[in-house]
Amino acid sequence: MEAEILKSIYLFEDLNDEELTKVAGIVSEEKFPKDHALFKEGDKGDKFYIIRTGSVRVSQAIGGAGEEALTILEKGEYFGEMALIDDAPRSADLIVHEDTELLVISKKDFDDLLFFDKDIAYKILWAFVRTFSSRLRETNEKIKAFLHMAGNF
């Protein structure tokens, strides 16, 4: 994996060239066809993914209602980071929405990187915090809209 590819990804925007090279050393590339199930809610999480090309659909099964698509993630976005942090099972299903190429980092490699390079750890984990904050705000807005609609019945 070339470090140059990582430069354009939000998660790594604070890393310098030397740090990008270290991260590139633990990244692999995988290609998946449309409709491929990457993982299911409840699966053990041991990889983190960054979308290089294509898109994926995040969804959850709703009892009696089928699949509920939560969002579509596209080029440059990432998913699976929660499994790297808390060792909890996957919280949603991930289905490839169109032919997609992913950059993949294993939990073991990620943990080693964080242990051996605290500067990289700080920068990546801070990017995760910004992403979590943004996603939480988005979820709060959805809840407010849902409660508003529910109040109209």
**CATH number of 87's domain:** 2.60.120.10
For the chain, the average pLDDT equals 90
Place of tokens 């939560």: 70
How many domains, the chain?
1
CA distance 128 to 122: 10
**Amino acid found at 21:** T
User: Which residue range is the domain that position 63 belongs to?
Assistant: 3-151
Per-residue pLDDT, 153: 60
User: Which DSSP state fits 28?
Assistant: E
Would the pTM count as exceeding 0.85? no
pLDDT in tens, 8-20: 888 899 999 999 9
Per-residue pLDDT, 42: 92
Per-residue pLDDT, 120: 94
pLDDT in tens, 115-127: 999 999 899 989 8
